[in-house]
């Protein structure tokens, strides 16, 4: 019998997906269904903001920032 | 990131959609309308037309309309009318507005959207004037209509409005559009390396012409050359000419629609004018891309000769300037370019020679005639 | 459709069917909704059907539209359905057909032909000798009021020290902005919200609609009939600029609305008790696309304030170069503070400011809740005519068949990329269908979902698919089950 589950379809690149999977390992608080291809998964609707913030924080730390000079 | 990236250029899809300018050329030839009296009198046709105009104006806040009357002896504006024309009939008040006292008292003004009423008043008023000023001398034996003049008026107004609109909005104007040449021209090398894409077409004022025709065309054969010139101008500027034919047959108008990709409809039942107008002629160029619209398959490509303005199936064509003659020109000299034509044997009717010509003529009807304009072949002399 | 149409459209769609019935009684409402809310193709459909005696068979309508434009057709039909303009019936031969629903059809016909007596399009003031307001006075009034509202949101202190005439905002305006979550008040200090930032960067027409919808929504709460308010707004949109209208024909609710709208500069009245009112351009261009505003009104509303504002060179004042430098010919504190939201400003001259759009400045804006699209659309709306002229003709992006853009493509693309850096995932809310027992069972609903345009993702291997709306698919599954 088919079932319908409410959620947010997340489209992202594999690296981001890997990060989300890792976050979820501890408490399984984000993911509803891992869609098993490289860049899709379904998460709980309420967790989007928290997830985004966490990603932003980690990305800011991990990604090297280009040196941006304001000189002309 | 294959799905979420910006590799495709970001474009504003929500660009403002250019409004459209609808120019209606109304054939007001009294002879022709008299013959339609039983099915669709002029007054009723005009009433239908006004509803149609309102519908056009209703489609977009910035849509514009212009109405030209193509009368027996002249072509004249019904709308828009310049202030000095109007002031002759109605005193204007200090700020140049025409006093509306007349209708203000009637109380009827509140149930009609203002722009609708303005057009309606002007058109009916000017039309009445026009018909009142027509005397019997103008009518005597004159069953034609000044189509060429009306088309020229329409075109010049379109040009003016397009430039004004482009100035205001920074879009491309008609000259830009003409830059990429007539559709059949194929001389892209002439104007810059693909500088103007078709999208410029979208950005400028969308103009189209609707001809409501009642007169027979054989009467207007004497206007063949100016009419064809207007048609080619429209073709070049991508202005579709729509034709709504209420009676008679219109040879050149079929060609007009064919050349400009307009809609051609000959109404079998003139009474249903409004419905035809609403369904076939209301959609603007943008919507037409999505719609299947009536066009003519069997276009009458006949031309009128340059010497007697007769509509001919078979004729003689000058080999230099492609002028058409119904009979060999006097002195074997082309009337247009003066080239001495060496067709010595035409008098003796060797059946082969004229037949060859007529075959060619039939196949290439319009395009032969059109060549000087659309591809810019320099006419010798 | 233009983004600007979406908000009023969304609001209208949310209304119950009965409300539409009431709304469409007024010809002016029918006309305004027809003009403002419908895509081109939908307008063609309505007009084609309006004077038909019999409903048009569905098949005929489908034949009328080219096969490759099916998407546009379905979109048009769906909007018409949601606005209760078109409905499906049966012809006499029992063929399914479309017709324009009645209060709407009647009212639109009345609007076109003018054959009715209700004062749906306002009543002119008969008074001739009064001190008439000129159009430029009205424009100036509307501009001042509207800038006052925006200035209040961005922070009024800008306006005070620049010698602008103080605009007094009524309590109602402030409450409305607060109710719409455009500003929030912390300890008596006004702070703009994320929504507010998004709001101030929109073009004026969209802003006005946004406010009006907020107003209608809040009208119910203070005991006004939202339908009456809404249809009054549509009435206002069909009035003529520069004309004064009699107030004595208006109902109490309409009079109250009028007083509130005066605060926003949407209408003008000399005093709250004046017997007449003038609509300003903000009202009369409500049913236009945004483009109509960017012309003459734009110059007064969007453009530089003060004496330069009257120069009449069109709305645009921003020049942006491919090296991300931005030059804005403005001295309006409001515009400067808006530009500074996403630009690092460098110099300020009496009539010009220069700056540069940088990664940091854009990131800062995005952190405030402004999206790249909003920045781009702001720049687009206010692009200098020179920029328009130049790039319309010579765009280099032409070669790939991409329409020429007004702004340098490098800049718009980069702004987007800067946003994407932050936004590494795209979320679509909806429903995941799973646990299908067989491939056949999976395929049919999946295909159906694709047909009605709700399918976002599917995997044949896992027999799962994701849709944005589940009602129709669920109904489809149920009907399948019953058949078995």
CATH number of the domain enclosing C11: 1.10.10
Taking contacts as CB-CB distances below 8 angstroms, the residues of chain A near B1 are: 12-13
SS3 C432: strand
In order of C275, C318, C338, C374, the CA distances from C342 in angstroms are 45, 14, 8, 10
Q: Are residues C277 and C139 in the same domain?
A: yes
Taking contacts as CB-CB distances below 8 angstroms, the residues of chain C near A32 are: 432
Q: Are residues C252 and C280 in the same domain?
A: yes
When CB atoms are compared, the residue of B58, B104, B114 closest to C126 is B104
Does B6 touch chain A if contact means CB atoms closer than 8 Å?
no
Is C127 a domain residue?
Answer: no
Rounded average pLDDT over B278-297: 84
Is A32 a domain residue?
Answer: yes
Chain CA centroid to CA B354, Å: 34
Q: Are residues C150 and C254 in the same domain?
A: yes
Q: Are residues C248 and C322 in the same domain?
A: no
Is C156 a domain residue?
Answer: yes
Taking contacts as CB-CB distances below 8 angstroms, the residues of chain A near C422 are: 56
- Inter-residue contact C415 to C375 (CB < 8 Å): yes
Cβ contact, residue pair B113, C28, below 8 Å: yes
Is A26 a domain residue?
Answer: yes
- Name the pLDDT band for B25 (thresholds 50, 70, 90): very high
Cβ contact, residue pair A7, C462, below 8 Å: no
User: What is the domain extent for residue C192?
Assistant: 135-284
* Local structure of residue B284 (DSSP, 8 states): -
Q: Are residues C417 and C448 in the same domain?
A: no
Distance CA B124, CA B135 (A): 19
Taking contacts as CB-CB distances below 8 angstroms, the residues of chain B near A13 are: 1-4
Structurally, how many domains does chain C consist of? 4
Subunits adjacent to chain C (3 or more Cβ pairs under 8 Å): A, B
Taking contacts as CB-CB distances below 8 angstroms, the residues of chain A near C428 are: 8-9, 11
Return the higher-pLDDT residue of C391 and B295.
Answer: B295
H runs (alpha helix) in C272-400: 281-284, 290-294, 296-301, 333-339, 359-367, 372-381, 385-394
Per-residue pLDDT of chain C (484 residues; tens, 9 = 90+): 334 446 778 888 888 888 888 888 888 888 888 888 888 889 999 999 998 888 888 888 888 888 888 888 888 888 898 889 988 888 788 888 898 988 899 888 888 887 655 566 767 666 655 567 788 888 888 888 888 888 888 775 544 444 455 566 778 888 888 888 888 887 777 778 878 888 888 778 788 888 888 888 888 777 788 888 888 888 888 888 877 888 888 888 888 888 888 888 888 888 878 888 888 888 888 876 544 444 334 444 443 333 333 333 346 788 999 999 999 998 878 888 888 889 999 999 988 999 999 888 888 888 887 888 888 888 887 888 788 776 655 444 344 444 457 788 889 888 888 887 777 777 888 888 888 888 888 888 888 888 887 888 888 888 888 888 888 888 888 887 777 6
Does B73 touch chain C if contact means CB atoms closer than 8 Å?
no
Mean pLDDT rounded to a whole number for chain B: 72
Please report the pLDDT score of residue C7 as a whole number: 72
Distance CA B311, CA B52 (A): 34
CA–CA min distance A10, chain B (Å): 11
Does C11 touch chain B if contact means CB atoms closer than 8 Å?
no
Question: Mutate which of B13, B167, B196, B290 to test chain C, going by most C C-beta atoms within 10 A?
Answer: B290
User: What is the domain extent for residue A43?
Assistant: 8-59
Q: Are residues C159 and C271 in the same domain?
A: yes
CA–CA min distance A68, chain B (Å): 21
Q: Are residues C382 and C345 in the same domain?
A: yes
Is A67 a domain residue?
Answer: no
ipTM surpasses 0.85? no
B56-104 pLDDT tens trace: 988 888 888 999 998 888 888 998 876 554 444 444 333 444 434 333 3
Cβ contact, residue pair B2, A11, below 8 Å: no
Is A70 a domain residue?
Answer: no
Distance CA B29, CA B70 (A): 7
Taking CA–CA distances from B53, the nearest residue in chain C reads C112
Cβ contact, residue pair B14, C3, below 8 Å: yes
Does C71 touch chain B if contact means CB atoms closer than 8 Å?
no
Subunits adjacent to chain B (3 or more Cβ pairs under 8 Å): A, C
Q: Are residues C221 and C278 in the same domain?
A: yes
Is C304 a domain residue?
Answer: no
Structurally, how many domains does chain A consist of? 1
Is C108 a domain residue?
Answer: yes
pLDDT averaged over 10-residue windows placed end to end, chain A, 72 residues:
82 83 82 79 84 80 59 48
Q: Which of C229, C262, C284 is where one domain is finished? A: C284
Q: Which of C284, C305, C323 is where one domain is finished? A: C284
Whether B355 shows a pLDDT value over 60: the answer reads no
Identify the contact set of chain A against chain C, taking CB-CB distances under 8 A. Answer: 1-13, 16, 32-33, 35-37, 40, 42-43, 45, 48, 52, 55-56, 59, 66, 68, 70, 72
Q: Are residues C14 and C108 in the same domain?
A: yes
b (16+ CB within 10 A) / e for C141-163: bbbbbbbbbbbbbbbbeebeeee
Q: Are residues C327 and C439 in the same domain?
A: no
Is A55 a domain residue?
Answer: yes
Rounded average pLDDT over B222-227: 81
Does B2 touch chain A if contact means CB atoms closer than 8 Å?
yes
Cβ contact, residue pair C425, A52, below 8 Å: yes
- Inter-residue contact B100 to B122 (CB < 8 Å): no
Taking CA–CA distances from C455, the nearest residue in chain A reads A9
Q: Are residues C171 and C242 in the same domain?
A: yes
Return the higher-pLDDT residue of B85 and B142.
Answer: B142
Q: Are residues C169 and C245 in the same domain?
A: yes
Question: Mutate which of B171, B263, B287 to test chain C, going by most C C-beta atoms within 10 A?
Answer: B287
Is C130 a domain residue?
Answer: no
Is A65 a domain residue?
Answer: no
* Domain annotation for chain B: domains and CATH numbers: 20-288 (3.40.50.410), 304-374 (no CATH)
- Name the pLDDT band for B154 (thresholds 50, 70, 90): very high
Size of interface A-C (CB pairs under 8 A): 87
Closest CA to B318 of B333, B299, B304: B333
CA–CA min distance B281, chain C (Å): 10
b (16+ CB within 10 A) / e for C429-458: ebbbbbebeeeebbeebbebbeeeebbbbb
CATH number of the domain enclosing A15: 3.30.70.1220
Please report the pLDDT score of residue B239 as a whole number: 92
C229 Cβ contact list (under 8 Å, min separation 6): C215, C216, C219, C253, C254, C257
Question: Mutate which of C323, C358, C427, C446 to test chain A, going by most A C-beta atoms within 10 A?
Answer: C427
Q: Which of C78, C113, C148 is where one domain is finished? A: C113
Share of chain B above pLDDT 70, in %: 65
Please report the pLDDT score of residue C306 as a whole number: 36
Cβ-defined contacts of C271-278 (< 8 Å, 24+): C274/C247, C275/C125, C275/C127, C275/C246, C275/C247, C275/C248, C276/C125, C276/C127, C276/C130, C276/C244, C276/C245, C276/C246, C276/C247, C277/C244, C277/C245, C277/C247, C278/C133, C278/C138, C278/C242, C278/C243, C278/C244, C278/C245
Quick check: pTM over 0.80? Answer: no
CATH number of the domain enclosing C454: 3.30.70.2610
B120-134 pLDDT tens trace: 888 988 899 888 888
Is A3 a domain residue?
Answer: no
């Amino acid at each position: 019998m088919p079932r319908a589950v409410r959620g947010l379809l997340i489209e992202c690149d594999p690296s981001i997906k890997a990060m989300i999977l890792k976050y979820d390992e501890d408490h399984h608080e984000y993911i509803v269904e891992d869609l098993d291809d490289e860049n899709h998964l379904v998460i709980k609707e309420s967790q989007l903001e928290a997830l985004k913030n966490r990603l932003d924080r980690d990305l800011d730390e991990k990604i090297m920032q280009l040196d941006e000079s304001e000189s002309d | 990131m294959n799905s979420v990236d910006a590799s495709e250029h970001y474009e504003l899809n929500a660009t403002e959609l250019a409004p459209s300018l609808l120019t209606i050329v109304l054939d007001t030839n009294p002879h022709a309308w008299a013959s339609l009296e039983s099915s669709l009198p002029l007054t009723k046709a005009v009433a239908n037309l006004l509803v149609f105009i309102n519908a056009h104006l209703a489609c977009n806040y910035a849509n514009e309309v212009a109405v030209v009357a193509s009368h027996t002896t002249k072509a004249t504006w019904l709308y828009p009318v310049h202030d000095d024309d109007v002031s002759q009939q109605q005193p204007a008040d200090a700020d140049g507005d025409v006093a509306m006292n007349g209708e203000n008292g009637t109380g009827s003004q509140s149930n009609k959207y203002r722009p609708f009423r303005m057009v309606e008043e002007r058109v009916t008023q000017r039309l009445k004037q026009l018909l009142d000023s027509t005397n019997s001398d103008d009518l005597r034996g004159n069953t034609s209509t000044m189509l060429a003049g009306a088309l020229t008026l329409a075109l010049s107004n379109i040009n003016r409005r397009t430039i004004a609109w482009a100035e205001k909005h920074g879009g491309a104007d008609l000259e830009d559009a003409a830059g990429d040449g007539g559709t059949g021209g194929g001389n892209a090398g002439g104007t810059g390396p693909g500088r103007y894409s078709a999208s410029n077409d979208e950005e400028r004022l969308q103009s189209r012409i609707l001809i409501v025709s009642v007169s027979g065309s054989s009467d207007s054969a004497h206007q063949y050359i100016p009419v064809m010139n207007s048609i080619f101008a429209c073709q070049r500027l991508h202005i579709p000419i729509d034709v709504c034919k209420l009676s008679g047959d219109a040879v050149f108008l079929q060609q007009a629609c064919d050349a400009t990709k307009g809609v051609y409809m000959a109404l079998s039942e003139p009474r249903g004018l409004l419905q035809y107008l609403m369904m076939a002629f209301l959609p603007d160029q943008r919507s037409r891309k999505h719609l299947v619209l009536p066009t003519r398959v069997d276009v009458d490509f006949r031309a009128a000769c340059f010497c007697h303005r007769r509509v001919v199936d078979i004729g003689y064509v000058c080999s230099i300037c492609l002028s058409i003659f119904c009979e060999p020109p006097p002195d074997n000299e082309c009337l247009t370019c003066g080239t001495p034509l060496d067709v010595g044997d035409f008098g003796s009717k060797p059946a082969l020679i004229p037949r060859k010509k007529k075959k060619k003529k039939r196949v290439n009807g319009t395009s032969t005639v059109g060549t000087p304009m659309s591809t810019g072949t320099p006419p010798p002399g | 459709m233009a983004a600007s149409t979406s908000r009023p459209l969304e609001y209208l769609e949310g209304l119950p069917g009965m409300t539409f019935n009431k709304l469409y009684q007024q010809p002016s409402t029918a006309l305004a909704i027809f003009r403002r809310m419908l895509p081109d193709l939908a307008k063609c459909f309505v007009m084609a059907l309006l004077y038909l005696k019999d409903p048009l068979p569905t098949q005929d309508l489908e034949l009328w539209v080219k096969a490759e434009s099916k998407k546009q057709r379905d979109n048009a039909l769906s909007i018409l359905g949601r606005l209760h303009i078109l409905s499906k019936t049966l012809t006499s031969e029992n063929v399914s057909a479309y017709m324009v629903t009645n209060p709407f059809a009647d009212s639109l016909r009345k609007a076109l032909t003018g054959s009715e007596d209700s004062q749906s399009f306002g009543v002119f003031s008969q008074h001739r000798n009064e001190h008439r307001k000129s159009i430029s006075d009205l424009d100036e009034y509307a501009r001042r009021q509207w800038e006052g509202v925006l200035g209040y949101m961005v922070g009024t202190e800008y306006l005070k020290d620049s010698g602008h005439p103080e605009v007094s905002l009524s309590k109602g305006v402030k409450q409305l902005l607060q109710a719409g979550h455009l500003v929030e008040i912390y300890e008596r200090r006004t702070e703009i919200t994320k929504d507010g930032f998004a709001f101030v960067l929109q073009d004026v027409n969209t802003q006005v609609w946004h406010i009006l919808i907020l107003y209608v929504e809040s009208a119910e709460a203070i005991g006004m009939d939202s339908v009456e308010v809404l249809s009054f707004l549509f009435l206002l949109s069909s009035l003529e600029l520069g004309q004064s209208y009699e107030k004595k024909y208006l109902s109490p609710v309409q009079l109250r609305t009028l007083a509130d709208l005066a605060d926003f500069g949407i209408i003008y009245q000399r005093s709250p008790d004046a017997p007449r009112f003038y609509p300003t351009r903000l009202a009369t261009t409500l049913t236009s696309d945004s483009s109509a505003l960017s012309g003459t009104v734009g110059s007064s509303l969007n453009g530089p304030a003060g004496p330069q504002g009257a120069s009449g060179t069109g709305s645009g004042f921003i020049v942006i170069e491919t090296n991300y430098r931005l030059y804005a010919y403005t001295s309006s504190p409001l515009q400067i503070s808006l530009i500074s939201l996403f630009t690092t400003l460098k110099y300020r001259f009496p009539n010009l400011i220069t700056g540069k759009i940088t990664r940091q400045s854009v990131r800062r804006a995005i952190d405030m809740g402004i999206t790249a699209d909003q920045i781009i659309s702001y720049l687009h709306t206010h692009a200098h005519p020179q920029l328009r002229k130049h790039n319309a003709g010579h765009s280099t992006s032409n070669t790939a068949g991409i329409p020429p853009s007004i702004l340098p493509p490098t800049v718009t693309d980069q702004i987007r990329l800067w946003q994407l850096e932050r936004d590494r995932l795209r979320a679509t809310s909806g429903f995941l269908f799973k646990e299908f027992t067989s491939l056949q069972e999976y395929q049919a609903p999946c295909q159906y979902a694709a047909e009605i345009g709700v399918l976002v993702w599917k995997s044949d291997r896992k027999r799962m698919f994701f849709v944005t709306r589940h009602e129709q698919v669920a109904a489809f599954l149920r009907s399948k089950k019953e058949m078995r």
